[in-house]
Structures are given as C-alpha cells and as structure tokens.
Copies of this chain bind each other. A is one copy, B any other.
Amino acid sequence: MTGFSDLTRLVAPRSMVIVGASAREGSQGRRLVDNVLVHSGFDGEVYLVNPGSKEILGHPCYPSVADVPASGIDVALVIVSAVHVLPALEQCAAKGIAFAIVMSAGFAETGDEGRHMEQAIAALCRRTGLRVYGPNCPGLVNLRLGLGMTFSPAFKDDLNSGAIGLATQGGGLGRTVLQALSFGDGVGLWCSGGNECDLGLPDFIAHMAVDPHIRVIAVLMEGVKDGDRLRSALALARANDKPVVILKVGRSEQGVKAAQSHTASIAGSARVNSAVFRQHGAVEVQDLDELSAVARLLAAPRPAAGAGLAIVTFSGGTAALAADIAGAAGLPIASFSPSTSAALRELLPAFANIANPLDTTADIIREPALVTRCLRLVCDDPNVGAVMFPIPMDYAGITATMAGAIIEAASAQAKPIVPVWMSRRMGEGFKAMEEAGLLPFLSLTDCVAALRHLWPAAAPAATASAEAKAPAAADAHHAPSGEASSAALSESDGKALLRKAGIAVPEGGVAGNDSQAVELAKAVGFPVAMKIVSAQIPHKTEAGGVRLNLADEQAVRSAYQSILDTVSQRQPDAVIDGVLVEKMFPAGGREILIGVHRDDAFGLVLTVGLGGIFVEMLKDVAHRALPIKPQDASEMLRELKGYALLEGVRGQAPADIAALEDLLLRVSRFATAQGPRLRELDLNPVWVGRDGEGAVPLDALVVLDPAH
C-alpha cells in the first residue's frame, strides 16, 4: 500500500494566504476573496498578496508571499497567471507553507510548455515537501465548515452539507452533484484536483476514507493517473467501511476522445477499470444523476440481511409497473409478515389488495394520516429493508398533502422511504419532498437502478446465473405434462405427419425385429440412428431408447436388442411400437431448436433457438406469433445472440441459413394448418448443414389435443 499524507491542514486550514487577491469586480481573484472573506464562515487568519494593491476590502495586502508577516501558514490559494505560479510556489515552500491550491489554468491542458511547468512544480514538491493541489482546478470546498477556497460564483448558493465526500478531477460536473444534493444529506467536502500535478484523486479518497465526517465517497473520474495509488485508496476506503461510488467518464471510444481533449490523463481500458473498481468493492454507476442518488442511498443505513423492497402506491397500474421494473432488475421484493398484513387490512379499504406491491387505492389519498400509518406499518416489518413510494401524477393540493404524509413517515424512520415523482409537473408535493431532503427520483427506472446498489447480490449477473440453473422450469412448455403426453404422437407418427406437410425428415422406417432393422439400415445406408417408438415415451434418451452412429449390421442387430431390453426395464408399462431406424446425419452440423406452443393471448407461437447451452444458459431464443412471413423468419434468426455461429466463426463455413428460414416457414404453414388441434410441436435438434446441405429435424414431438 502506498502511503498517503494527512490532508487535515489542507481541507480544514486555520490560516491561509491568497496569492493573486484582487479588488477588481468580476475577476477570479476578487471572487476568491469574496468567497473566503464574505461567503465563508471562516474565522482563521487570511493574508492577501498582490503587488499592485495596498489593501482589498479593508484587508491589508502584501506585495509577495515572502512579505506576509506570519509563519506556519496551512494553505496558499494561488490564482495568478500561469507563468507566475512557480515563483509564487517557491516562496510558499521557502516560507514553510504546507499546502498550495493552484487554481490558475494554462498548464498541461494547453500543451507541452504547460506540461513542463507542471513537471517543475512536481519537482519543487519532491524537493521541498510542499504539497500542491491543482493546477487548473476550481479549488476546494469544505461545505461542512462553510469554507469555499474557490473562485466559483456559485459557491454561496450551494452550501448544503452532509456525509458525502465528493472527489472529482475536472470541476464542472461536480457542481451538478452539489445541485442534486441541495437538500437533505449533502456533500460535506468537495475536492477537485484539476490536472493533479501532485495531489490527486487517490489522496482525496484516502483522506475521505479516514475523515470521520464522511460516510460515503462519490468519485467522478476522467482518467486514472496512478493505478496503484488509486487501488490503495479504494482498499483503504473499503477497510474503513466507506462505500465508494464511481462514475468513470471515457468508457466508450467517443467518450475517450472527448476526455482526452479535456484532461491530460490516461483514459485506460474501460473493462479493466470496471473490473478493478469491482475488485476493490467500489460501486460503478453510468450517469451523473445515478452518482448522487446512489451516494445518498449508501450514506443511509443498509437493509438488514434478508430484508427486501416494499412498494407502496395508490394506483394499481403504478404498482404493477413499479413491480415490473424492480422485478426485471432482480430486486428482492419483500413478503409482508402476517402481522403487517393483518394490520394493513384493518387500515385500508376492504377492496384494497394487501400484498407487495401494495396498492392502497386512491381512496387513501385524501387521508394523509392513513398514508403515514400505512408507511409506518410497512417500515416496521422486519422483512422490509426499504420502501419505494411512486407518485404517478400531480394532483396539486392532494398530492401535496400526501407528500406531507410521506415526509412525516420518513422523519420517524431509519429505513429509507424513497419517493418517485413520475409526473413532469413538479408541483408543490415535489417541492415539499425535495426541501425535506427526500429527493424524489424522477422515474421508476432511475429509482430501481439506484436501489439495486442496496442489494448488490441482486446484480443482473447473479439473476442470469440463477436463471441458468433452472432452464427446465422456464422452458416447461417444451416438455408436455404427463396428462398432455397421452396426446403426444410417437416420433415416427409425428415425422410422418411432417413429411406429408412437405417438411423433410431423415429417411428410415420402424422395425419390428432386428432383421427388419438391418434391412432398413441397408436401405438408407450406414451409419444409422435407432430410437424406440412409443407414444408413452416422449423422452427417449432418458428411457435408454436411443443409439446413434451404428456403422454395420452387427451394430444394428445388437442395438435393437439392447434398446428393447433397457426400455422394458425402465418403462415396463409402455406400449412399444417398434424401433425407428434412420439415416444418421454427419457430425459437425449446427444444432437448432424449433418449437411451437400455444400462448393464451396470441395463439400459436413459433420459437427458434440455438440448441444446447445457448438455449439452456443464455435463453437465446426468438419468438413470433404464427403465421410468419419470410421477413419474420429472417429477422428472428438475426435476433439471436448466437447468430454469428450460423454465419460461421473461427473459420467455420456458414450454415445453410436459407434452408433454415425455409424450414421455419414450412413449420409455420404446418402448424397453422393443424389449427386448434395442435397443442405443441418440438423439433429438437434440427440438424443444419453447411450452405446447400439443408436443415432437417432429427427428432420431432407433435402433441395434438385429443378433444379435436
């Protein structure tokens, strides 16, 4: 771990000198003096330096730093033009000043000459022990102390403070974060190191990691200057249990271009950056509003283990939409405990649906006391870790009253109650919650994106993996239930039906004894595949009823016997119609799955996917309602994530995509022609050869409705 210096004298100085102080209205030097002397609540010593003035705003002014009649000064604020910075810093060092904040621009961001000046400053730091913050930065703002060591005219308007530390490089967007946290728990300390010729982001993060007034660290980063020091700082924050939230600008190629023209640092590989942030437990966000929102959420107490999200609102549609968006993001939706449910039932109108999401019904909205009591009940439930309260529209006074009720409930709660203001009409209710520090989210999606970081295990990756573990359940419609299977045709009957409909299936036939099997094999040519034929055995492989790649007569003969033996042992009650003997298709074909099932709303629906792990692990399938047109067949294949496999990867020849599209159209015609009697159809696998070789269903399960 790289060591970090103590920055206490920099962020909370007791004495300072302003180099470049000015009385001229509108100048940066004047705005800096105004911020320190007028707008800050600073009661330490301030010395002004300007060779051209005797006094500024009633304060004496010294011609140079050397002339300042004091020693042991904590910080020099430097705002002279670039060429005068180094001489001023030399005087600072000579006088034993601990830190300098150089706001002046005209350094590395302008080219080589500026870069050389920065190198000289860095050398001075190493030589003398002076530590420099900047140059080309807006200064440092300690909001907890109300101290603005900055020339920004906006300082006096952004004085809300709190437990969030904000560390940035370029200063511009930092103010957007301040504006987003104007009420409630805000930014207590903002460090923005500009070109970072000496002190930089890692130093600020490391300071905030040990600053007892900071509970969470928000970082807005354009480039990584020193990866090792950044990692050390992140590790320190983690060790001190301070969540770090990072927005890294320059993730895309376009972003990198813009970032490099804006700062003078290394953009780094976006994927590596993200991985390193994760490695050190930092949370990465994608947008600026997310940065402030997540920092705010992480500054509050975290949900207890096992506690989930409650959704409370007064509109059914809103409840459903909020549950949708939260569910899609994998947020854990809490189940109310029986006592909470009972108490809510007592409280709410009889026709309210007592569940999570909780729709109180619109009847409640004129009774603020009910809203408050309802929220308290939900918050008191140990299964609940946080409450989302979406407000779908602005009804002026009515919504304002409700906002008051939410504010009252939140004020008595440790658990976060997170309102979502879904209307664009920012009415009284919005303003009231904002000023009470509840900071409503402006969309459900944004709210859910932020809430996800309260339940890191709910990240989409984890969800995907959980899904991957249960492919069978999700694809249940492809496996007919026991009841339905009575209507399943045997493979050979199913294939006969397909063949009649103009869908090519492998040549072959059903053998009733081993000699017939050999005859059939000779007729279609070796090697062959052999499979049990029985309407009671839809899952032939599991029943031991499949043998592949049988190369000669002897193999066919013994396979016949072995199939009958195994099946009769495993499924003694199945009626056996014989053994299907078919031409074996060459290995190396691509495996596709084609299915048709019946959707309650849209009737027959066609599904296509890449076979094997693509379907099972990645759910890589496309659907269309039947019938389909040629364009649909083409589009649904191209929707597949694994479409490139059909085009050919790693030097593989392209698959016969035209034949596959044609097969999809034939399946569509077949299924549509069957009409209501078709319950489902499963062609799995479909063998797809190389261009020109065709696409052939190797197995077929056709389930008809016995009622038709």
Contact = CB atoms under 8 A, between A and B. Distances in A.
A370 interface: no
Given A268-B600, A272-B623, A641-B617, A317 B222 contact: yes
A323 B602 contact: no
- Assembly stoichiometry (copies): 2
A327 B445 CA distance: 20
A259 B362 CA distance: 16
A179 interface: yes
Given A288-B444, A625-B279, A645-B617, A355 B317 contact: no
A250 B317 CA distance: 9
Interface residues of A, number: 121
Contacts of A639: 278, 461
A257 interface: yes
Contacts of A616: 649-650
B316 A262 contact: yes
A321 B288 contact: yes
Contact of A173 (B247, B315, B439, B643): B315
Contacts of A198: none
A275 interface: yes
Interface stretch (A117-125, A463-471, A511-519): A463-471
A266 B262 CA distance: 54
Contact of A252 (B319, B323, B394): B323
A180 interface: yes
Contacts of A363: none
A623 B424 CA distance: 41
Contact of A276 (B230, B602, B643): B602
A541 to B, nearest CB: 10
Interface string A260-279: 01110010110111011011
A626 to B, nearest CB: 10
A673 interface: no
A613 interface: yes
Contacts of A324: 249-252, 254-255
Given A318-B172, A616-B650, A254 B326 contact: yes
Interface string A231-255: 1000000000000000101111111
A442 interface: yes
Nearest to A394: B179
A632 B647 CA distance: 36
A356 to B, nearest CB: 8
Nearest to A605: B272
A326 to B, nearest CB: 7
Interface of A: 110, 154, 170, 172-173, 175-176, 179-180, 182, 220, 222-228, 230-231, 247, 249-259, 261-263, 266, 268-269, 271-273, 275-276, 278-279, 286-290, 315-321, 323-328, 333, 351, 353, 355, 357, 359, 362, 392-395, 422-426, 434, 439, 442-446, 461, 464-465, 468-469, 471, 599-603, 605, 612-613, 616-618, 622-625, 628, 632, 635-636, 638-639, 641-645, 647, 649-650
**7 tightest A-B CB contacts, nearest first:** A252-B327, A262-B316, A255-B324, A275-B623, A254-B323, A227-B602, A258-B320
14 contacts: A110-B351, A173-B317, A179-B423, A180-B424, A225-B601, A259-B316, A269-B600, A273-B601, A286-B325, A426-B426, A445-B446, A461-B639, A613-B642, A617-B642
